[in-house]
Amino acid sequence: MKVLFASFECYPFVKVGGLADVVGSLPKFLKKNKVDVRIVIPLHKKVDIGKHKIKKTDLKLLIPLNNEYIECYIWKGSLDSVAVYFVQNDRFFYRDEIYGTAEGDYYDNPLRFILFSRAVIETAKAVGFKPDVIHCHDMQTGLIPAYLKTLYRIDAFFQHTKTVFTIHNIAYQGLYGPEIHFIAGFAAYDFVPEKFEYYGKINFMKAGIVFADMVTTVSPTYAKMISTSSEGRGLEGVLAKCEKEGKLFGILNGIDYNEWNPETDPYIKANFNIKSLDNKEICKEELQQLCGFDISDVPIFGMVSRIDPLKGFDLLMKVIPKFLSEYNIRLVILGRGYKDIQARLQELQKNFTKKFKLFLEFNNPMAHKIYAGSDFFLMPSVSEPCGLSQMIAMTYGTAPIVYKTGGLADTVVQFNPQTATGTGFVFDTYNEGSFYNKLIETVEVYKNKKSMEILRKNMLQQNFSWDNSAMEYLKLYCKITNISLKVTKKETKIKNKSKK
């Protein structure tokens, strides 16, 4: 089976959010299951060509866009053993940021996404890779399924190609003026509500949903939520239709244990596992030192997050001052984002210099230290399609505190000291009272060392590997391509039914 991944970002080459982690991990696990998988992303300015040994090929593309032809060049690198193609066009991709600046999105983003979508299709032809499936990620690639069903519908190269469109966050849909429909090259008769048109505009995410052969999202609960008005963001009708047709699936993301593993993590002071949990205390002491805290036996609450209202910072700012005042706890937050929230956090730090440390940066080594050295992990997101941070936290024996939504509801089970079950702390109502009561509950659990030991062992027994998720995706690929999947104890084998 041949699968082509199309995405605007991919870790470790370039990352803005969790999308990059998924695209940087899932293909490697598909490769283990005998899938010939390759990736296409833009050659962004942030991509370090030298570090990743990316080489320019002699392949050039000419992409029609807005009454002109745009030259694109193909570069090639690898992610472990997975081939990665980079589409170079300095006019559209060589930017300081990926999607926009602090002032807002780049004004020509729709043109950038159109160019990249066409370039993905043309790259497959240029390198001679005839995919059984093109797996498209988020609205930046939403036009790819549409192109294959319209402009490329009679192209023999893609005669048997199917598409999967994955929604990582339905909040970002790519809603643009009707002129973009025609700049993209689509026919006037396709600008209708059943296809591209969305309240007089074009919606790139809707295009991906409507034209893809299969639609997935990043957790089972989120798949149900986006089919309703509570989370559908205006697309609930389209998604409900997909669900009714058996075309919508929720598959939980995984984490890459090569990157996040307390047994082998090079960034933490002491490695540990379920049999050497005492070493976690060494990591905690190091974190206290880095934050300028006194070394003491008090609960440490960590948070690694984009500083954004969606991540629960509105709720956090209402309760944290009171929590810091009334309880002997420590708090460390790492991240960047909304400037007004950052300013409020900086003011809070001035008021609690011995109890609260703020790192306004993206710092991967420090993130590892926070996951390993904290006792509890704050993640009160009001909306979270899947979330990786809660899984990473549990992998390091750090108990997440989450609101029951999306992937958080699918991965974190409320801890019960009486039954010795559960992996974290979950509040059902999104308000400050419910959240604050849950914070108090964690402090009470912390006082009971036996309960903390049980909780940590419960977390360390969880398995959030990509292996299970990769198999679920592989089953979907087989379903839409009519390629059979034969699983043995030793390996996964794929046969094309037409060759039996």
So where are the chain's domains? 2-254+466-499, 279-460
Cis peptide before 12 (omega within 30 of 0): yes
Listed in sequence order, the residues at least 6 apart from 430 whose beta carbon sits closer than 8 Å to its beta carbon are 315, 382, 403
Nearest to 213 by CA among 150, 149, 140: 149
Number of Cα atoms under 13 Å in the Cβ half of residue 261: 8
Does this chain's domain 2-254+466-499 share its CATH topology with 279-460? yes
Three-class SS of residue 8?
Answer: coil
List, for the chain, all residue ranges whose pLDDT scores fall below the cut of 50.
488-500
C-alpha to C-alpha distance for 309 and 384, rounded to whole angstroms: 12
pLDDT at position 164, please? 98
Indicate the class that CATH gives domain 2-254+466-499.
alpha beta
For residues 229 and 206, give the distance between their C-alpha atoms in angstroms, rounded to a whole number: 15
Neighbour count for residue 64 (Cβ, 10 Å): 15
Whole-number pLDDT of residue 240: 94
pLDDT value, residue 203: 97
Scanning the structure block, which residue is given the tokens 């296809």?
A: 195
Spatial distance between the Cα atoms of 165 and 142, rounded to a whole number of angstroms: 7
Look at residue 486 in the predicted model and tell me its pLDDT: 64
Alpha helix locations (H) across 275-354? 279-291, 313-326, 339-351
* pLDDT reported for residue 487: 54
How many Å is the Cα radius of gyration of the chain?
23
The rounded Cα 367 to chain-centroid distance in angstroms is 16
| CATH architecture for residues 279-460 | 3-Layer(aba) Sandwich (3.40)
- Residues 96/85, Cβ–Cβ less than 8 Å: no
The whole-model pTM stands at 0.89
> Residue 362's pLDDT is what?
87
